[in-house]
């Protein structure tokens, strides 16, 4: 499994699960994906997803885990 991160946007202190709708083609078909992102804040996690998938829409934080894998919020 690939985890998204971008140290230029956010340091990597937490693991976030971010739900995003990704546009597949110009006919505006979308698919919902759950992405794992390493970031410090929820807003930073969403910015990393937007940076990696510029056509993504409807971002939502599903979960946040501390660096050791402990569940912080569900």
DSSP 3-state of 24: coil
The structural domains of the chain, with segments of one domain joined by +, span: 3-73
Cα distance between residue 8 and residue 42, in whole Å: 15
Cα distance between residue 27 and residue 19, in whole Å: 21
Q: Mind listing the pLDDT tens digit for each residue in 11-67?
A: 888 999 999 998 877 777 888 999 999 999 999 999 999 999 888 889 999 999 986
Cα distance between residue 52 and residue 60, in whole Å: 16
Stated pTM of the model? 0.79
């Amino acid at each position: 499994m690939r985890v998204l991160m971008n140290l230029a946007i956010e340091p990597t202190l937490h693991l976030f699960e971010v739900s995003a709708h990704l546009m597949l083609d110009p006919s505006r078909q979308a698919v919902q994906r759950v992405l794992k992102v390493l970031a410090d804040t929820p807003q930073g996690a969403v910015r990393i997803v937007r940076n990696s998938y510029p056509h993504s829409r409807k971002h939502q934080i599903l979960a946040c885990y501390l660096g050791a894998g402990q569940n912080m919020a569900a």
